[in-house]
Amino acid sequence: MAGDLQITAFTVPGPGAATGHGEHAVGSATVPVRGYEPSVGVDPWATLVWAHGGSFVRGTLDWPEADWVSRSFAAAGIRVISVDYVLASDTVKAPAPSNDVAAVVAWAGAEYDGPLVVGGASAGAHLAVLATLHQRDSAPTQAAAALLLEYPTLHREQRADPRIADAVAALPEARRFRADRIAEMYDFYLGEGTAGAGPAIVAGELPTERLALLPPTIMVNADADELRASGEEFAEQLRAAGVTVVEAVEPDTVHGYLNRPDESETARAQAAATIERFVTELRVLLEA
């Protein structure tokens, strides 16, 4: 990975700034981000707004799923804006986290020339979908050209899949996403709504006509991961809506593997292979 990337921390005006209500209602007044520019002399061929995962309640810009991933994309010539969106809590509920990501997408679309791409991992992928639709609605001339989804969670209820059940049966409990864990995650994230925030939205429950507005999508799922069922179902929903989808499974991986590239040489190779998949397929999409 290139060692002379230009990395800068700054803030972007958030959705809370426009209303004065702050993060509890609509999102943050200002959203902390970290920008990753490719090596000096390299002209970025796309700008990626990236959201880490963490079940909507955890995650920082220092997590490998944010920092290592962003460095990897930047080393491939992509400008990355990694978003430190407000996390769900007892007082912060949806749609505040996705509104923060949407504010950064809007800022990046106005700030930079060239293709705009939105992406995220796990819960961050969910936020990326909603932010991409928000940008399509509010600034269609600056809409994202592509969407990158890494082991996404997109449904409150997942369909049963015997293949996946067999694959995850031997995993430790901490790396399982059983139905009750998924339900609790979404119940906490959605809450009962917040005054002025509007209806909470679950990406996988959107009607076909809304999904049809999404750009070409590249998705990589983990191999032994209950949430793989959500990703695969969403890919089917997108295709039914007429959206181009490039879909892959990273072999011999479990959920969250991009957050653990330093566990072993194998883990690093798997994480690097995923970034390479995204970069390769994104170039194909953007050059088509």
Give the whole-angstrom CA distance, residue 37 versus residue 105: 16
pLDDT at 13: 95
pLDDT at 22: 60
Residues 6+ apart with CB under 8 A from 269: none
243 DSSP 8-state letter = -
Q: Give the angle 175-249-165 at the CA atoms, nearest 5°.
A: 45
C-alpha torsion 269→270→271→275, nearest 10: 90
Structure tokens at 219: 């998705």
Residues 6+ apart with CB under 8 A from 22: 16, 28, 29
Helix, coil or strand: residue 35: strand
CB atoms < 10 A from the CB of 256, how many? Answer: 21
Helix, coil or strand: residue 105: helix
Confirm if 15 and 27 have CB atoms less than 8 A apart.
Answer: yes
Confirm if 214 and 133 have CB atoms less than 8 A apart.
Answer: yes
What pTM, to 2 d.p., does this model score? 0.95
**Rg (alpha carbons) of the chain, rounded to whole number:** 18
Q: Give the angle 151-213-31 at the CA atoms, nearest 5°.
A: 60
pLDDT at 66: 98
Helix, coil or strand: residue 80: strand
Confirm if 249 and 225 have CB atoms less than 8 A apart.
Answer: no
pLDDT at 195: 40
Which residue ranges of the chain lie beneath pLDDT 50? 1-2, 193-198
pLDDT at 201: 87
Residues 6+ apart with CB under 8 A from 246: 216, 217, 218, 219, 281, 285
257 DSSP 8-state letter = G
The DSSP element (H or E) to which 155 belongs, if any, is none
Look up the CATH architecture of domain 6-287. 3-Layer(aba) Sandwich (3.40)
pLDDT at 199: 56
Residues 6+ apart with CB under 8 A from 167: 223, 224, 225
The DSSP element (H or E) to which 115 belongs, if any, is none
Angle (deg, nearest 10), helices 123-138 and 96-111: 60
Domain boundaries, the chain: 6-287
